[in-house]
Amino acid sequence: MNQLDYLAIPPVIYPITKILTPAVVQYQSHSNIPVYEIRKDKCGVVLVDIVFQAGRPQEAAKMVAASCAAMLREGAGKFSAQGLSEEVDFMGATISTRASLDFITIKGICLRKHLTKMLEIIGAILSEPHFNESEWIHFKEKNKERLKVQLAKTDIISYREITQSMYGFDHPYGYNSTPELYDAIGTEELRHHHKDFITASNCQLFIAGDISDKDRPTIDKLCQRILAGGKSAGTTVQIRANTTPSKLRIKAASNQTSIRLGRMACTRHHPDFDGLNYICNILGGYFGSRLIARLREEKGLTYSIYCLLDTQLYDGDIMISTEVANENVTLCLEEIYREIEILKNDLVKDEELEHVNNYMMGNYLNLFDGPFNSIRAIKSLALAQIPLDDLDSLIKSSLAFDAYQVRDMSQKYFDRNDFWEVIVGTPQE
């Protein structure tokens, strides 16, 4: 075949049949802290994630976990907030802290030669945070101003309203940040949360890159600085509020209206998790999904729309979200529910199932592409308490669905009466 033949005859496309998952080195460091490593010799870079189960379910007061995570980096040990930043910048490294709903994470990335120094700084952040009063006041005021900006955005408002409606204001996954909640807590609450939950018993380490057995003493030294004692994060989260699905309309000046539909679902340990995730991909999980094809490609109603199964440690939900022109809100809702009804009543064709499988397999390829992507995937599984001994079986089980299973599970979970509906903007009826 000459070169011009390739222009007329497309190359053969072969389906992805196997995902090459990385070797994960697992061991327990000081105080029995679990460590997960994915190694890549001579890449010259190391990523370290230290994760604590110290999120909202462990809070003594609302907003304590997120505030504690943010303040960890505002001065620690012998470093002031500015001095700590300068030390990290001098190494060309990055150290960040963040809080999700269930976890607080301290992440560090540096060149291999600076690993020891970076871990010394992280050790100070974990064991000797200042929680300085003046830094706390500055943090509160800055976040109040940021909150004002966020509350001018319709998509932010709709997300806040629908999660609070589904879970309830007193549920860890349901409440929203407010200026009053920031004012209700002080540095003493942050210190208590740090002492109780930023501890070895609630900790896991995830390391990727240029790492080897020779670095074990350095890792052990870091783990020795993590506080012992404290409280176990194992907790029973309050059962979600016994509220019935509702429709909420909020007026807001905007050229577009934000639409969110949501319903309660399950955690990753539920037997329906894989099937629900599969269905969400069919409906709105990728660019060729049904909602994208119908509302964007055919109708031109929106630039983007998605359907997502969002799971936490103790609960989960299905969320459909989009933004549309104010005059198209009613039509958009009709089209969304139309696609849901088709999914519930008609069998999915084999060709579409193959498209979804190919998309998900391609996504798995990306998830395990290189040590840094791979450690994120491993971290997600480990934190959800999913065994890592057979990753191939986990991948296969997430794709093992036929048209009848899809239809039956759609009928179970996509009843229109089970969905909350939040619309924020200036829709024209």
Express each pLDDT in 133-189 by its tens digit: 999 999 999 999 999 999 999 999 999 999 999 999 999 999 999 999 999 999 999
Residue 217 scores a pLDDT above 60: yes
Residue 242 scores a pLDDT above 70: no
Distance CA 72, CA 233 (A): 19
Residue 229 scores a pLDDT above 90: no
Distance CA 202, CA 185 (A): 23
Instruction: Residue 67: name the closest of 232, 228, 188, 231 by CA.
Output: 188
Residue 6 scores a pLDDT above 70: no
Residue 3 scores a pLDDT above 80: no
For residues 269-279, average pLDDT: 96
Query: How many secondary structure helices (H) and strands (E) does the chain include?
Result: 16, 11
Per-residue pLDDT tens for 246-256? 999 999 989 89
Domains and CATH numbers, the chain: 25-225 (3.30.830.10), 247-425 (3.30.830.10)
Surface-to-core class of residue 212, CB atoms within 10 Å of its CB (0-12 exposed, 13-18 middle, 19+ buried): exposed
130 by DSSP, 3-state: which? Answer: coil
Distance CA 147, CA 149 (A): 5
DSSP 139-165: HHHHHHHHHHHHTT-HHHHHHHHHHHH
Residue 54 scores a pLDDT above 80: yes
Question: SS3 breakdown of the chain: % helix, strand, coil, rounded to 5?
Answer: 45, 20, 35
For residues 45-53, average pLDDT: 98
- Stated as kind and residue range, the H or E segment containing 106 is strand 104-111
Residue 1 scores a pLDDT above 60: no
Task: Specify the pLDDT at position 8.
Answer: 78
Point out the least confidently predicted range of 76-90, 174-188, 229-243, 341-355.
229-243
**Cβ–Cβ < 8 Å for 329, 428:** yes
Distance CA 235, CA 58 (A): 8
